[in-house]
Amino acid sequence: MKLPNPFIIGSGPPGTNYQVMKKAFDEGWGGVICKTLSLDSSKVVNVTPRYAKIRDYSNRVFGWQNFELISDRPFDVMLAEMKRLREEYPNRILIASIMEEYNKNAWEEIIGRCEEIKVDAFEINFSCPHGLPERRMGMAMGQDPELLGEVCGWINGAAKVPVWAKMTPNVTDISHPADVALKAGCEGVAAINTIQCISGVNLDTLRPEPSVEGYSTPGGYSWKAVKPIALAKCTAIAKLIARDYAGQGKSLSGIGGVETGGDAAEFILLGSDTVQVCTGVMIHGYPVVKNLCGGLQKFMQKHDFKSIAEFKGKSLPYVTVHSELVKRQRDALAAKKARQGLANDAEWSGEDFVKNADSMAVNR
């Protein structure tokens, strides 16, 4: 897939119907991922309120919780709208986010029907942390490597276009399920989906929030607060790809708290090929892509980079294990103590004057 820029509308409300996806293309997004589809939308029932905003001390939205489910629109309706988009924007990247239960026939059917309308790729939602895991979908699959590998095998056996596996961060080591998905034939992975959370408790009502008839459920946490976690998780996957899949064309789509071109540059410097934005669009609107592109271009001009490929993964070699930091610091201190000569005139000593002079002689 060749995108006009690395910015993709991530799966969620910004890709929920024809009008909003059209708006994304018109504003200049490099690609659009539709809100996650399943064959039987009648099982998807949303509630309201389903979002909660967490603000910092300056009252800016810093975190965002949701327990919104996948698309509740009929599969045939979404497919017809995506077909219309495909016809109206033949040169733009349209990706189908899909999810199904543990049913090989269902996965094969949804893949075949999406390919009929010529989607460019699939993103497989193995990571939604709420609602769907109760049906052994979403995060429930992404947290079970054996199940994940089997389902990825079904998907890649049926799909004729590239497949990304969207990873859950709600695991100890995200590189393990990512490796399982890549070994099963996925062309790439996307990370991270939201982090399981409860936004807070109302201290007047004593009920957790967001509250639906006085009750709540853990949801997914996104936006600026998760960016450091997302960078670490993406780094682990990028190192896996560089070490075990070099030269195989495997890709990484970075997700998590991207608001500026500088944020995007950080993900790319740590190995991401593309960057997805979902919550950012819900806060700033679709035109934010212009600021993202402008900020990334400014960063590239500052460092004289002519292409994204020139700096993709450039910071990755500098992320290492803690013992390596200890060794490097110890070696640097030893080298400083063992340096030859004096650093400046203030270091001359009356007592050791001859020794000082000798320390700077080339043939001592």
Does any domain span residue 197? yes
Query: Does residue 225 lie in a domain region?
Result: yes
Tell me: do 235 and 344 sit in the same domain. Answer: no
User: Within this chain, do residues 216 and 326 fall inside the same structural domain, yes or no?
Assistant: no
The answer on 75 and 116 residing in a single domain is yes
* Same-domain status, 298 and 352: no
Residue 328 lies in a domain: yes
Question: Do 200 and 111 lie in a common domain?
Answer: yes
In a shared domain, residues 333 and 290: no
Q: Looking at the structure, do residues 41 and 83 belong to the same domain, yes or no?
A: yes
Sign, CA torsion 54/56/61/63: negative
pLDDT of residue 364: 60
Q: Is residue 74 part of a domain?
A: yes
Instruction: Indicate whether 176 belongs to any domain.
Output: yes
- Nearest alpha carbon to residue 279 among 56, 14, 25: 14
The secondary structure of 191-216, three-state, reads: ECCCEEECCEECCCCCCEECCECCEC
Containing structural domain, residue 339: 322-360
Residues annotated as part of the active site: 128
Positions of the chain with pLDDT lower than 70, given as ranges: 339-340, 362, 364
Cα gap 297→30, rounded to integer Å: 15
| Cβ–Cβ < 8 Å for 220, 198 | no
Domain shared by 200 and 348, yes or no: no
pLDDT for 323 equals 98
Q: What is the pLDDT of residue 129?
A: 93
> Do you find a cis peptide bond into 174, omega within 30 degrees of 0?
no
355 shares a domain with 308? no
CATH of the domain at 31: 3.20.20.70
- Give every CB contact of residue 141 below 8 A, 6+ residues apart in sequence: 102, 126, 147, 148, 151
Q: Quick one: 171 and 209 in the same domain?
A: yes
* 345 shares a domain with 239: no
Q: How many independent structural domains does the chain possess?
A: 2
Closest CA to 252 of 8, 14, 12: 8
Residue 1 included in any domain: no
Residue 288 in domain: yes
3-class SS of residue 125:
strand
What are the residue ranges of helices labelled H in 226-337? 227-244, 261-269, 279-284, 288-303, 322-337
Tell whether 91 and 202 lie within a shared domain: yes
Task: Give the pLDDT score at 131.
Answer: 79
Residue 2 forms part of a structural domain = no
